[in-house]
Amino acid sequence: MRLSLEVSLSAVLVATLAGLPLGAAIAVGRFPGRRALIVLLNALMGLPPVVVGLLVYLLLSRAGPLGEFGLLFTPSAMVIAQTLLVLPIIAALCRQAVEDAWLEYEEQLRSLGAEGLRAALTLVWDIRYSLVTALLAGLGRACAEVGAVIIVGGNIDGVTRVMTTAIALETSKGDLPLALALGFVLIAIVLALNAGAYLVKDAAQRRFG
């Protein structure tokens, strides 16, 4: 259970650090291929976890390009796979939110002389409460998926077994009560994380308007 949270939260953290600037840059920037990139990013939100798992497996396997690091079947491999799954969700939702805000703020910011990167950072900071929802969507994806972590992690007891892979295993072993119980625990954890995020966001929003 702790591993589940560690892996998923790490993936969301990395995806946030990369995804927010990426989404904001696409929202504010004007460059050739921008529309195609937006469509691609939106489509990647629906990336099948097993496919990502397979690709990361190929990259990290002993014969793969990154095989020498020996990451396959470790929690690090699981974080990498989940980061790839979560990144498009956070970047795409951030892109949309920043673009909407840019419509509202553009003239004022340009009038003050804030353009490009500075404008993008100002926007991201100003809509920080809305972006919480994007992070929660990413976290939901990470906590819920089983396809990627089971392939690159291997579901090794005590090393790479997380809640979802444990549920899959117990179900196939026929221990349905245990699988069901684990399922409820997982749902409870996700619910608690979301409730906490909502309360923080709500309090901050009330304070800063």
Partner 1 sequence: MNGILPLRLEEVTFAAGGHAAIDRVSLELTAGPSTILLGANGAGKSVLMRLMHGLLVPSAGRVRWNEDDPRSVRRRQAMVFQRPIMLRRSVLANVEYGLKVARVPEPERRASALEALASVGLAHLAHRPARTLSGGEQQRVALARAWALHPEVLFLDEPTASLDPGATREIETVIKAFDAAGTKVVMATHNLGQARRLGDEVLFLHQGRLVERAAVDRFFPQPASAEAAAFVRGELPWA
- Convert residues 120-159 into a mask of x (bound to partner 1 by CB under 8 A) and - (unbound): --x--xxxxx------------------------------
Can you tell me which of 114, 121, 168, 189 binds partner 1, judged by CB under 8 A? 114
Can you tell me which of 1, 39, 48, 110 binds partner 1, judged by CB under 8 A? 110
* Opening angle at CA 172, ends 170 and 178, nearest 5: 25
Asked whether position 31 contacts partner 1 by CB under 8 A, the answer is: no
Asked whether position 201 contacts partner 1 by CB under 8 A, the answer is: no
21-29, 31-39, 49-57, 105-113 -> range binding partner 1 (CB under 8 A): 105-113
- Please report, to the nearest 10 degrees, the dihedral formed by the alpha carbons of residues 85, 91, 92, 95 taken in order: 180
φ, ψ (nearest 5 deg) of residue 154: 85, 0
Of 61 and 130, the one with the shorter C-beta distance to partner 1 is: 130
Number of residues lying near partner 1 (CB under 8 A): 19
- Please report, to the nearest 10 degrees, the dihedral formed by the alpha carbons of residues 63, 44, 156, 73 taken in order: 30
31-39, 104-112, 138-146, 168-176 -> range binding partner 1 (CB under 8 A): 104-112
Minimum CB distance to partner 1, residue 122 (Å):
7
Q: Are 130 and 143 within 8 A, CB to CB? A: no
Asked whether position 103 contacts partner 1 by CB under 8 A, the answer is: no
Minimum CB distance to partner 1, residue 116 (Å):
12
CA distances from 88 to 29, 37, 82, 114 (A): 18, 11, 11, 27
Of 100 and 126, the one with the shorter C-beta distance to partner 1 is: 126
* Opening angle at CA 77, ends 72 and 82, nearest 5: 145
Minimum CB distance to partner 1, residue 39 (Å):
25
CA distances from 87 to 79, 81, 155 (A): 12, 10, 23
Residue 101 in 3-state DSSP?
Answer: helix
Residue in the structure block whose two tokens are 């805000």: 101
Asked whether position 107 contacts partner 1 by CB under 8 A, the answer is: yes
Asked whether position 108 contacts partner 1 by CB under 8 A, the answer is: yes
Residues that bind partner 1 (CB under 8 A): 104-105, 107-108, 110-114, 118, 122, 125-129, 207-209
